[in-house]
Amino acid sequence: MFSGAHVILYTPDAEADRAFLKDVIGFDHVDAGRGWLIFRLPPAEFAVHPTEGAPKNEIYLMCDDIAQTLATLEDRGAEVSRPVNDQGWGLVSAVRLPSGTELPLYEPRHPIAHSPSP
């Protein structure tokens, strides 16, 4: 029935953040026209969590080894904006996009719904 998911990140400097995702993160992409890049994501999961506050959405990039991922991203010029924090369900950190937006990353410590990358 569904062929995929399309995730949108709204930021105050979309052009700079697109360049970061292309050049620093290294995501493959297509140009939908006039430099509007659409990025291919790795396999994904979708979870629903309860909240007592206002409903919200979050995007996390999952990785097999958060320490190595952060080291690689720092070598490419990324700023780690949150140190690694053990949440029990995973090791969580974040990098800062050029717009100032944080992009959370985590190494899961729970069963995952997709096969890890080879």
Q: What is the pLDDT of residues 38-64, one digit of tens each?
A: 999 999 999 999 999 999 989 999 999
Mapping DSSP to helix (H, G, I), strand (E, B) and coil, where does residue 85 land? strand
Q: Identify the pLDDT of residue 116.
A: 58
Phi first, then psi, for residue 23 (nearest 5°) are -90, -35
CATH number at residue 66: 3.10.180.10
Instruction: Tell me, yes or no, whether 24 lies in a domain.
Output: yes
The secondary structure of residue 35, as a DSSP letter, is T
For the chain, what percent of residues have pLDDT higher than 70? 97
pLDDT score of 2 more than 90 = no
Q: What is the pLDDT of residues 73-95, one digit of tens each?
A: 999 999 999 999 999 999 999 99
Instruction: Tell me, yes or no, whether 2 lies in a domain.
Output: no
Mapping DSSP to helix (H, G, I), strand (E, B) and coil, where does residue 66 land? helix
Structural domain including 30 reads 14-45+53-108
Q: What is the Cα–Cα distance from 6 to 115, expressed in whole angstroms?
A: 20
Q: Which residue has the tokens 């100032």?
A: 100
Q: Identify the pLDDT of residue 4.
A: 87
- What is the number of domains present in the chain? 1
Residue 26 token pair: 């290294």
Full-model pTM: 0.87
Q: Identify the pLDDT of residue 114.
A: 77
